Structure 1
Amino acid sequence: MANVRYVAEYFLSLSEERTPLAITPLKLQKLLYYAQAFSLRDRDGALFSEAIEAWKHGPVVPKIYRLYKNYGYFTIPHQDFINEDPFTGETKLNDDEIETINEVWEQFGHLDGKFLEELTHQEDPWLFADINDEIEIEDILEYFTN
Structure 2
Amino acid sequence: MLYYIILIIFFTFIVIFTRKCYKYIRFRKIDNTDNESEANKMGEIKAVNIPIKADIKDVADWFLLKENMSNKKIQKLCYYAEAWSLVLLDQDISQNSDFEAWVHGPVSKTLYNEFKGFGWQELTITNPVVVKKRLDELFTKEQIEVLESVWDTYGEYGADQLEALTHTEKPWLEQRKGLGKFQSSTRKISKETMKRYYKSIAI
TM-score tier after normalising by the smaller chain length: 0.7 to 0.9
1:14 corresponds to which residue? Answer: 66
Aligned counterparts, 1:1-146, within 5 A? 1=52, 2-15=54-67, 22-50=68-96, 51-79=98-126, 80=128, 81-84=131-134, 91-130=137-176, 131-146=185-200
Question: Which range moves more in the overlay, 97-106 or 64-73?
Answer: 64-73
Structure 2, unaligned stretches of length 5 or more?
1-51, 177-184
Measure how far apart 1:98 and its partner are: 1.4
Structure 1, unaligned stretches of length 5 or more?
16-21
TM-score, structure 1 normalization? 0.86
Structure number with bigger Rg: 2
Q: Check whether the contact 1:83–1:93 (CA below 8 A) recurs between aligned residues.
A: no
TM-score, structure 2 normalization? 0.63
Q: Residue type matched to 1:53 in 2?
A: E
Alignment RMSD (CA, Å): 1.7
Q: Which has the higher contact order (CA 8 A, sep 6+)?
A: 1
Structure with more of its chain in helix, by fraction: 2
Q: Over residues 47-103 of structure 1, what are the superposed CA-to-partner deviations in whole Å (9 max), with x where a residue is unaligned?
A: 123211111110011101111112223311245132338xxxx92211111111111
Structure 1 stretches of at least 4 aligned residues deviating more than 4 Å after TM superposition: none
Corresponding pairs, count: 136
